Chain A
Amino acid sequence: MGIRFILMVNKQGQTRLAQYYEWLTLEERRALEGEIVRKCLARNDQQCSFVEHRNYKIVYRRYASLFFMVGVDDDENELAILEFIHLLVETMDKHFGNVCELDIMFHLEKAHFMLEEMVMNGCIVETSKANILSPIQLMDKAH
């Protein structure tokens, strides 16, 4: 089914955003996030962006203090997901202007709105930044 979850975690290992597209219990999420974060944070820049974990493949990318991690099925196109992460970051940049960890923390709802426009049921819905951001902009205008 493609994307199973999207995590944003800072380099201290604190989760800043978690969106799952398959149901996991809280215990399972905690365990999974702990294991993945340990694995990804231990890696350096010379290593590839893919980590195999249980039956997932984690495609991850680091931006300053923040790690973006996407859990996908084993047969997903890894590079397409890697660039999808970048598209997400660019979209956030466009909205927040050079997005940082605090933007995501304090505007969790907006981060969720953006993701909601980009991914649904584990599949990519929209890749045009303008289309992704238009509902949020409409809402901001209303205020």
Chain B
Amino acid sequence: MTGMRGLSVFISDIRNCQNKEAERLRVDKELGNIRTCFKNDKVLTPYKKKKYVWKMLYIHMLGYDVDFGHMEAVSLISAPKYPEKQVGYIVTSCLLNENHDFLKLAINTVRNDIIGRNETFQCLALTLVGNIGGRDFAESLAPDVQKLLISSSCRPLVRKKAALCLLRLFRKNPDAVNVDGWADRMAQLLDERDLGVLTSSTSLLVALVSNNHEAYSSCLPKCVKILERLARNQDVPQEYTYYGIPSPWLQVKAMRALQYFPTIEDPSTRKALFEVLQRILMGTDVVKNVNKNNASHAVLFEALSLVMHLDAEKEMMSQCVALLGKFISVREPNIRYLGLENMTRMLMVTDVQDIIKKHQSQIITSLKDPDISIRRRALDLLYGMCDVSNAKDIVEELLQYLSTAEFSMREELSLKAAILAEKFAPDLSWYVDVILQLIDKAGDFVSDDIWFRVVQFVTNNEDLQPYAASKAREYLDKIAIHETMVKVSAYILGEYGHLLARQPGCSASELFSILHEKLPTVSTPTIPILLSTYAKLLMHTQPPDPELQKKIWAVFKKYESCIDVEIQQRAVEYFELSKKGPAFMDVLAEMPKFPERQSSLIKKAEYVEDTADQSAIKLRAQQQPSNALVLADPQPVNGAPPPLKVPILSGSTDPESVARSVSHPNGTLSNIDPQTPSPDLLSDLLGPLAIEAPPGAVSNEQHGPVGVEGVSDEVDGSAIVPVEEQTNTVELLGNIAERFHALCLKDSGVLYEDPHIQIGIKAEWRGHHGRLVLFMGNKNTSPLTSVQALILPPAHLRLDLSPVPDTIPPRAQVQSPLEVMNIRPSRDVAVLDFSYKFGTNVVSAKLRIPATLNKFLQPLQLTSEEFFPQWRALSGPPLKLQEVVRGVRPLALPEMANLFNSFHVTICPGLDPNPNNLVASTTFYSESTGAMLCLARIETDPADRTQLRMTVGSGDPTLTFELKEFIKEQLITIPMGSRALVPAAGSAPSPAPPVAQPPSPAALADDPGAMLAGLL
């Protein structure tokens, strides 16, 4: 390389440039020069080419675009001499990427170098492919590279590069490495003596096991062997020890590979590994030499991760926690940083909260560290370790820190504080305090979500309203308050200010004047909120205060011709309404409660974590098998699970009272219900049309959306047509009918899946109410657009689907709650008409919603004393119907009992003296019937399992018929294929003769249950 004078001169010139402009001029001149040379000199000497190509790389490094000469760089690859070839390879891999056309031109040359005999050329070519090789390289070169890697005649300097080259090819195309053939070879590679080859091979292994750990399980003991060799035996050539430590990098890699295996089964491997880990945990001392100290701690921290991952040895886990506890209080900033980071990871892996809590004050100290990197780690750790017991302390620390935190951290801080306050509030007034303080201290960083949320809480909790109102009033006394504070206090005082009327300074006119003082300081979007507040204040002033009315009317008058349409409309409407007297009261009545939904804050945080946080543990967690989409329960990590409300059957021991009891009241809903997410509707509310009730409340009064009502009759008839026969352009994954049938018997699972989207469902049922959540997950890396979901409800169900967003972002999941109410018994099914656009393809599907009759049944087991009086009281058709069913799917009696139990018709064992019969009971809920007891008796024929006699009774003729038909469908349905939905006799009313036909005379003769039948 000596003697490239032109290059040295150019670099000196650049170095001597006084400013960026001079540098640019010099660079432009040089680029012009190179371009001319490339164009004019037909035959450039390799020396000149080399010189120019280096200059290009230099200019590229300085940040200037070099958009020519790529061909010259690539052409050097085929130069016969090493120095030119080397430059060609290195500069090409810096300037080009895998998609560059010139690179494709070079594939052949590269391949010739790889399979050629010159090992220095091999190295160059392998490195280039390893750095920028794309899919086409993977397809054409993988076998050659594998051959080199395992070749015994190849020297280590080539093989180590082949290992990492293969890693690249594998990443570009996983099929480049054939799992079956390669696993054994991989294991053999790990026996390698040369540490360069071993280091590269371990990197390759990490990539392979992260993809499929089972296939490479034979490599697990080999990794342990490597660790033993390095950490225990110190069996390493001198040049691979670093400050006395046997290749810390290889030790770290080997331990990293082990973290991709879920467990270690083999006892002797396990023992060996734990010995090594123990040695590392105990034997790492703090030493004076910085490099040695860092290197040994690099190994120690990796060992900690591995121990946490294995989470097996109690003793060792507590050693780890103790070490981390020590680390977070040392002075050395690197160790402190890593201590905090690993403690946070530990929270995710295992249950060590209580021990970590002991270090809370130390962690809080780190929150005030001068180093932002450390403060961030401390914040994350505090956020992770927060629970009900320490929420108050932690949130107050965060609030305190907020005033001094740098701007880059304030947004994250306020979001985290708001989430913790919401998740773990010991009482709601504290929550209100926290949020108001947040707005006060960092108003600019408090997103709308945060203050919408506090409004929701206050609206939904009557006890909280006077407190919130007085707090809001207090903040108004401050001299300068943030605009968000104006919004939230105006809203709260408008709604609940009247609750304070007796307190000093809180009369309507006083509230008005203090709020109105703020009006000149606020921006346009806040004015409509103030106008609504004025209107509400006016409405609450009883008897009317003419003085106040005059003032407020003056304001309305003033904005009557405002250029902002929203303001103008409100001013005009409020003015007119306020003249109407009682009608005014109705329109401006207190806002109804908001439907429960997941905090948009928590969702936001989850989203942020999803996109930003790709920590090792998270990645590793993703490798664990999971049904992420459906079962991902958005519960707080360490919060109490949301209260599960089990309807209690009042007096369930007395069937008559059950039959009489009306549907159960809903009870108070918990305020934080992370299981019921939905898009935030409050933003609509506070925008235009602010005086309308929340959408949830509206639809409770109407009967579903009008447009849907119109078609519901038609749907009634068609609901039992196999809706899954559609001409979609996508390939469905799984059978829709099977999925539906599975979901009829369970409450969560996948409803629909194609290559683009997965729709999962999760349901909770209580009495005649149901709450379903549809989880729509976009599986692609591009958005799904024009997403539409329309519910076609049958006449007996009232359904309210929260709006589904038009677009589902890449890899995102949207959740849409669906409220269901059962009005009367029917077997018809609701249909979800779903469509979306992927690229230009429109995909649509009509999916049956598993809100089937059995979902409104509550299991109920009766004793004979309870059963028989009820049974006798049902005196025959139409309340009690009997039918002989043929073509029954043959089931053994216990299986049939399980089937009944699975759809909540509870088998009461031992009630029927005939062991071939089953007696069952359940409670059905609907708005029209209330809670209604249902009884059933199935008489089977052991000689012919394909027929049986069934008697069903209840206090409602429709219910009796529908339940009988439902049970019949279940008994003859073969839950395969789409025809299942149309059972032979399912749709026509009572086609089978209702005549009591004993299954067989023989069965009748010795049927001790004839006594029962006689009671009919």
Contact = CB atoms under 8 A, between A and B. Distances in A.
A49 to B, nearest CB: 5
Interface string A70-91: 0001110111101110110000
Interface in B230-251: 237, 239-240, 242, 247-250
B62 A78 contact: no
Contacts of A80: 248-249, 252, 295, 298, 302
Interface in B271-313: 291, 294-295, 297-298, 301-302
B203 interface: yes
A125 B617 CA distance: 25
Nearest to A29: B63
A95 interface: no
Contacts of A26: 60, 63-65
Contacts of B15: 105
Contact of A47 (B297, B333, B376): B333
Interface string B642-681: 0000000000000000000000000000000000000000
Interface in A27-60: 29-30, 33, 43, 46-52, 55
B370 interface: yes
A98 interface: no
B195 interface: yes
A127 interface: yes
A116 to B, nearest CB: 6
Contacts of B2: 143
Interface in B559-618: 612-617
A79 B296 CA distance: 9
A17 B61 contact: yes
A83 B294 contact: yes
Contacts of A74: 613-616
- Residue from the set A2, A108, A109 with the largest chain B CB neighbour count within 10 Å: A109
Nearest to B156: A131
A125 B545 CA distance: 84
B373 A79 contact: no
A121 interface: yes
Contact of A106 (B8, B130, B195): B8
Given A48-B371, A55-B612, A124-B249, A79 B161 contact: no
A79 B298 CA distance: 5
Interface stretch (B90-98, B625-633, B792-800): B90-98
B76 to A, nearest CB: 13
Contacts of B253: 124
Interface residues on A, range: 35 or more
A79 B615 contact: no
A123 B167 contact: yes
A49 B168 CA distance: 29
Contact of A125 (B199, B370, B619): B199
Interface of B is mostly: helix
Given A108-B57, A127-B240, A15 B63 contact: yes
A107 interface: yes
A86 B61 contact: no
A17 B63 CA distance: 11
A91 to B, nearest CB: 11
B195 A128 contact: yes
B239 A130 contact: yes
Nearest to A105: B11
A143 B83 CA distance: 10
A15 B291 contact: no
- Residue from the set B123, B295, B613 with the largest chain A CB neighbour count within 10 Å: B295
A93 interface: no
A19 interface: yes
Nearest to A81: B298
Given A46-B371, A51-B373, A80-B249, A121 B1 contact: no
Given A46-B333, A84-B249, A126 B164 contact: no
Contacts of B11: 105-106, 108
Given A51-B373, A83-B295, A127-B242, A121 B336 contact: no
A112 interface: yes
B371 A121 contact: no
A92 B242 CA distance: 16
B130 A52 contact: no
Contact of A123 (B200, B291, B617): B200
A82 B294 contact: yes
A135 B124 CA distance: 11
A110 interface: yes
Interface in B340-386: 370-371, 373-374, 376
B803 interface: no
Interface in A97-114: 105-110, 112-113
A50 B54 contact: no
Contact of B160 (A49, A52, A126): A126
A139 B1 contact: yes
B131 A121 contact: yes
Nearest to B617: A75
- Residue from the set B1, B54, B94 with the largest chain A CB neighbour count within 10 Å: B1
Contact of B199 (A29, A73, A124, A130): A124
B688 interface: no
Nearest to A107: B1
A109 B88 CA distance: 12
Contacts of A30: 63
Nearest to B166: A121
Interface in B99-154: 120, 123, 127, 130-132
Contact of B252 (A43, A77, A142): A77
A87 B1 contact: no
A52 B373 contact: yes
Contacts of B337: 48, 50, 78
Nearest to B204: A123
A108 B12 CA distance: 13
B99 to A, nearest CB: 8
A62 interface: no
B338 interface: yes
B169 to A, nearest CB: 10
- Residue from the set A48, A74, A113 with the largest chain B CB neighbour count within 10 Å: A48
B139 to A, nearest CB: 18
Contacts of A48: 333-334, 336-337, 371, 373-374
A14 to B, nearest CB: 8
Nearest to A1: B171
Interface string B208-246: 000000000000000000000000000001011010000
Contact of A79 (B82, B98, B239, B338): B338
Given A48-B336, A124-B203, A113 B373 contact: no
B87 interface: yes
23 contacts: A1-B171, A18-B61, A26-B60, A26-B63, A46-B371, A48-B373, A74-B616, A75-B616, A77-B252, A78-B337, A79-B295, A79-B298, A83-B248, A108-B58, A108-B61, A109-B87, A120-B127, A120-B130, A120-B165, A125-B161, A127-B195, A127-B249, A128-B195
Given A80-B298, A124-B203, 17 more contacts: A17-B61, A30-B63, A47-B370, A75-B614, A78-B301, A79-B295, A108-B54, A109-B54, A116-B90, A120-B127, A121-B165, A124-B249, A125-B160, A127-B196, A127-B199, A128-B240, A135-B123
Q: Which 8 A-B pairs have the closest CB atoms?
A: A75-B616, A79-B298, A48-B333, A23-B97, A80-B298, A47-B371, A123-B203, A128-B239
Interface of B: 1-2, 8, 11, 15, 54, 57-58, 60-65, 82-83, 86-87, 90, 94, 97-98, 120, 123, 127, 130-132, 157, 160-161, 164-165, 167-168, 171, 195-196, 199-200, 203, 237, 239-240, 242, 247-250, 252-253, 256, 291, 294-295, 297-298, 301-302, 333-334, 336-338, 370-371, 373-374, 376, 612-617, 619
